[in-house]
Each structure stands twice: as C-alpha cells, then as structure tokens.
Amino acid sequence: MVSGFVRVGKPRKSLEVYLEMLEFGVESNAFTLSSVIKACSELGDLKLGKCFHAVVLERGFDKNHVISSALTDMYGKNFGLEDARKMFDEMGQPDSICWTSVISAFTRNDRFEEALGFFYLMQRKYKLFADGFTFGTVLTACGNLGRVKQGKEVHAKVVMAGICGNVVVESSLVDMYGKCGLVKDSRRVFDRMPKKNSVSWCALLGAYCQNGEFEAVLGIFREMNKEDDLYSFGTILRACAGLAVVRQGKEVHCQYVRKGGWRDIIVESALVDLYAKCGLIDYAQRVFSEIPVRNLITWNSMICGFAQNGKAEEALRMFNEMIKEGIKPDYISFIGVLFACSHTGLIDQGREYFKSMIQDYEINAGIEHYNCMVDLLGRAGLLEEAEDLIRKSVFIDDLSIWETLLGACTAHSDLDVASRAANKMIELEPDYHLSYVLLANVYKAAGQWDDAVKIRKLMKERGIKKIPGKSWIEIKRSLGSYPNLANSGLPSKEIFPDNGNLSLDMTGDASGSDTEDMHLIE
C-alpha cells in the first residue's frame, strides 16, 4: 500500500498509510523505508526525509543499495547535492542504480560537468551497465553544456545498448540535439520514434523554440494529440511571444484555462513574458500579481517587461522588491535593469548596478550587459568612456557592441569616435553594410555631406548592398514577413498574397472569435 500510493502519484497518502502501519505495531522494512523516502522526495519535504534517514541508520539499513539510492535521489531533487554526494561516497560498492542516482543529482543541480565525469567513470573504470534513465540524464547534461560531440557519442552507446525504442532516451535525444542547435537531427530522431508521449512532443517544440523557429512551433502544435498539449503551453506561449502575436497568445491562454490548467509557474511566467513583449504591460502585471508563488523566471519576465515598455522606474522597483523577497538576481535580471537605466538616462544608477552585478553577485558581465552600458553612456554623450569600456572588456572583437557605439555617435556627431568604431567594424566584418550606413549617417548629422557621399560610393565599389527592412504583418490571420513597400518596387498584390486563414485551429470558440477584448480569467 505504501509503495502503491507512491507509484500512482499520491505521496502524501503513502505517508499517512505508513503512520497507520506504525500505529498497528508493524515495523517497517527496507522496502517500506525506500518508498516513504521517495514520497518525501516527491513532496519536497527534505526535513521529513532527513528524519527517515535517521530511522535508516538506527535500523541498520545504511548499507542497503535500494535505500541509499532513494536517499541520494531525495537529496539531489531537493537541492541537497552535498548530502547526495556524501551518501554516494559512503556506499561500499555502488551498483548502476546508485550511480544513476548521483549522476541525476548532479544534473538536477546544474552540475553538468560532474555528471558527465561520473558517467564516464562508471563505464570506463567500473564497467557498469547504463540503463535508459542513466542515458536520459547524461543526454540532458550534454544538451545543457552544448556538447554535441559527446552527445553523439552517448547516442552511439544507446544504439549499441539496443535501447533505441526507449521513449525516455529518445525524448532526451530530441532535447539534446535541439539544445545543441541541430534541429534537423532533433526532428529526425523524433520522426523515427515508434512511440511518442507528451514529453517527446514538448522536447521537439522546445528544440524549434530554442532555435528561434517560432512559426514551426505553432505548426507542430496543430499536429499534436490534444491530450498532450497541456504540458506544452509554456513553449507555445514562448513562440507567440517571440513572434509578438498577441491574438494567438490569447487563444492559447483561453485553451489552457479551459483544459483545467492553472497555477503552473512555467505557463504563468510565459504569459507574463508574452503580454509584456506584445506591449500589454497591464495584462502582464495582472497575471504577475495573481501568481501565488513566484520564481526567478517570473520576476525576470516582469522586470524585463517593464523595461522594454518604457517603465524604467517600475522595473527598478520590481528588481528591488525581488531582492527583498530573498530571490537572488541572475544574468537576465541585470539585463532588464541595465536596459531600463539606458532608456531613461540613469547613468549613476546604471554604473552602480553594473558594478554590483560583478562584485556583489559575482556574475560575469556578458555582451548584453556591455551593450546596455555602451548604450547608456552613448545616449548621455559619454562616447569616449563608452569606447574605453569596450576596449577594456573581453568583447573588444564583438561586432554588435561597436555597432551600438557607432549608432550613438549619430546623435552626438562625434566624428573621431565614429571613425574608430566604423574602422573596427569594417576590420571585423568587411562586408557588413551597417558599418558604412551608420558612418554615413554620422557625416550627415555633422553636415559633412561630401564625406557621406564618399562612403556610399565606397559601398558601391565594394559591392556592399544595404539589406532591405522587413516587417511582420498579419493579414486575415496569416502572419508573414514582408519588405518595405516604399523600396520594393513591387505592386502590393504581389507582396501581400491571399494566404488564407492560418489560425492555430484549436478546438473551442477561441480560434473563431475576436479575442482582442478578452479579459483575463480571474
């Protein structure tokens, strides 16, 4: 009974039955203890799990591999990685299940290098057999590290082990190839799967979404078994946010609520991100305010949403509120904060946040942070300070950061800094059209039209063409990318063909109705 309730997903009931068993004077054996430890793991009750660990020691079951494996797994799932490692180290001769438990603990706690190290140690030194769960965990580690070569090696081991039909392993392969940027390989593995479940579909959707192929995500969603789509709403909403298609996003929101989905932190965070990116910041704030338990992703979505919608003060207030709640900011949090500072001219505050990120939170500044700082200083006319920041950074050879500086030079007509920035861009990528276009704009702003004409002539001599701008336009529910009409020279009928209705075509009234005035369901 105790183990049965755990297997059917009722860990709390399992613990209640265990207590009843003790009241009847029945002593627990190793199998019962392993079950209640797993129940604690599922409930996230580490304190109670430690109590059962004490019972294990008292009863002399500490050498039992089944119990040791369950304890390792419990600590790993509940952020007790050091305790999980200690449990493993105290085992005399751990079997393959124990090895899988500790590898899984490393993976769950984002210690992917150690996970791979233990996997190779397990196979090469101890010659132990890896099962489907082991391979699934290791492939997750490879994917998160972007180690496609090692991922393919593990794939080969899977084939040699004869477990290609395992849905856990193959779903992990789909996920791994997607995270490594090999979407075609991800799709190839998926298409060959004899059996697919909700995890498989979500892995495929994630592969396309992570690589920016948002339209493909919506297309695949139409093909899915609608019984499986409840688990994929977070990814679908991310795709809608990436395309900034609020109508389809609202349809997905409606369908999610209708199917009984609610209080899912992943989906609710994606909703906040969707509405913020589509400019509906009030909708985003309403969703955010009704989330009972917020994680870092939720806070980041709201901070970045405020920043991107010109509400810098609210973004900074939200950031400070997050810190008061005891949540430690990460790489993304500071992108939102620095973006807010750069678009409102908060120079001193921007400098302080940039310094705090590196010194107080020990976060290495990335290209996004440097771009925000260069933009902040450039908008304020502090172009030489911005240039000095670039030259002292590890991103001195990154094209985008020089492009940001050159763009700032246009507003302030600083020809010296502009020339150095343009020359650096041309050195890094000689055929990049914006190097010439932005420099010509600086000359125009400074009134040096002859120099601007010379730059244009230089572009022509080198065969460099300006890439035409495009816009996402929705016509009759068909979303497409179209060139600028003013420069295309084509009649509008050729540019905007009748593509028909490409709605998400989901069951229910949402796909056939105007959802623009839809209110969020309380």
**160-218 residue pLDDT tens:** 999 888 999 999 999 999 999 999 999 999 999 999 888 999 999 999 999 999 999 99
Tokens read off for 273: 């991100």
Query: DSSP code of 511?
Result: G
Beta strands in 342-477 (DSSP E): 470-475
Phi/psi at 155 (5° precision): -60, -45
pLDDT at 84: 94
Q: Which of 292, 316, 295 shows the shortest CA–CA distance to 304?
A: 316
pLDDT at 131: 93
Rounded to whole angstroms, the Cα distance separating 234 from 238 reads 6
pLDDT at 139 over 80: yes
Quickly state the pLDDT bin for 440 (edges 50, 70, 90).
confident
Cα-Cα-Cα-Cα dihedral sign, residues 341, 346, 347, 352 = negative
Rounded to whole angstroms, the Cα distance separating 519 from 422 reads 49
Residue 318 burial (10 A CB sphere; 0-12, 13-18, 19+): buried
On whether both 90 and 6 belong to a single domain, the answer is: yes
Rounded to whole angstroms, the Cα distance separating 118 from 374 reads 43
pLDDT at 307: 95
On whether both 40 and 1 belong to a single domain, the answer is: yes
- Say if CB 379 and CB 345 are below 8 A apart: yes
Tell me how far CA of residue 389 lies from CA of 145, 418, 426, in angstroms: 29, 15, 20
pLDDT at 521: 33
Residue in this structure with the two tokens 């793991």, named with its chain if needed: 41
Q: What is the pLDDT of residues 206-257, one digit of tens each?
A: 999 999 999 999 999 888 865 556 678 999 999 999 999 999 999 989 888 8
Rounded to whole angstroms, the Cα distance separating 255 from 265 reads 17
On whether both 31 and 101 belong to a single domain, the answer is: yes
- Say if CB 55 and CB 22 are below 8 A apart: no
Phi-psi region of 141 (alpha: psi -120 to 50; beta: other; left: phi over 0): alpha
Q: Is 43 part of any domain?
A: yes
Domain boundary among 199, 229, 259: 229
Rounded to whole angstroms, the Cα distance separating 260 from 269 reads 17
Phi-psi region of 506 (alpha: psi -120 to 50; beta: other; left: phi over 0): beta
pLDDT at 227: 57
Percent of the chain with pLDDT over 90: 64
Query: DSSP code of 482?
Result: E
pLDDT at 507: 39
Q: Is 90 part of any domain?
A: yes
Across the range 311-334, mean pLDDT stands at 95
Average pLDDT for the chain: 87
Rounded to whole angstroms, the Cα distance separating 417 from 385 reads 11
Quickly state the pLDDT bin for 433 (edges 50, 70, 90).
confident
* CATH code of residue 16: 1.25.40
Across the range 97-105, mean pLDDT stands at 95
On whether both 153 and 84 belong to a single domain, the answer is: no
330-333-337-338 Cα dihedral, nearest 10 degrees = 60
Encoded amino acid at 198, one letter:
S
On whether both 15 and 113 belong to a single domain, the answer is: yes
Across the range 490-502, mean pLDDT stands at 45
Residue in this structure with the two tokens 């998160």, named with its chain if needed: 144
More reliable by pLDDT, 470 or 332: 332
Query: DSSP code of 263?
Result: S
- Say if CB 494 and CB 485 are below 8 A apart: no
Rounded to whole angstroms, the Cα distance separating 39 from 32 reads 11
Domain boundary among 229, 252, 278: 229
Q: Is 484 part of any domain?
A: no
pLDDT at 470 over 80: no
Number of folded domains in the chain? 2
On whether both 219 and 137 belong to a single domain, the answer is: yes
Domain boundary among 83, 106, 126: 126
Q: What is the pLDDT of residues 285-315, one digit of tens each?
A: 999 999 988 999 999 999 999 999 999 999 9
On whether both 21 and 82 belong to a single domain, the answer is: yes
Residue in this structure with the two tokens 């059209």, named with its chain if needed: 433
Rounded to whole angstroms, the Cα distance separating 229 from 114 reads 34
Tokens read off for 286: 């309403």
Rg for the chain, CA atoms, rounded: 28
pLDDT at 425 over 70: yes
More reliable by pLDDT, 451 or 69: 69
On whether both 108 and 50 belong to a single domain, the answer is: yes
Across the range 78-95, mean pLDDT stands at 92
pLDDT at 479 over 70: no
Phi/psi at 517 (5° precision): -100, 15
Domain with 20 in it: 1-126
pTM: 0.76
Tell me how far CA of residue 315 lies from CA of 184, 202, 461, 489, in angstroms: 39, 32, 47, 43
pLDDT at 398 over 90: yes
Residues sharing a CB contact under 8 Å with residue 110, sequence separation 6 or more, in sequence order: 144
pLDDT at 54: 94
349-355-358-363 Cα dihedral, nearest 10 degrees = 10
Q: Is 44 part of any domain?
A: yes
Tokens read off for 28: 């627990």
On whether both 7 and 112 belong to a single domain, the answer is: yes
Query: DSSP code of 366?
Result: -
More reliable by pLDDT, 293 or 519: 293
Across the range 19-34, mean pLDDT stands at 91
Quickly state the pLDDT bin for 439 (edges 50, 70, 90).
confident
Quickly state the pLDDT bin for 504 (edges 50, 70, 90).
very low
On whether both 14 and 118 belong to a single domain, the answer is: yes
On whether both 31 and 54 belong to a single domain, the answer is: yes
On whether both 41 and 121 belong to a single domain, the answer is: yes
Residues sharing a CB contact under 8 Å with residue 34, sequence separation 6 or more, in sequence order: 64, 66, 67, 69, 70
Residues in the chain: 522
pLDDT at 456: 84
The terminus-to-terminus CA distance of the chain in angstroms comes to 39
pLDDT at 492 over 70: no
Q: What is the pLDDT of residues 349-390, one digit of tens each?
A: 999 999 999 999 999 999 999 999 999 999 999 999 999 999
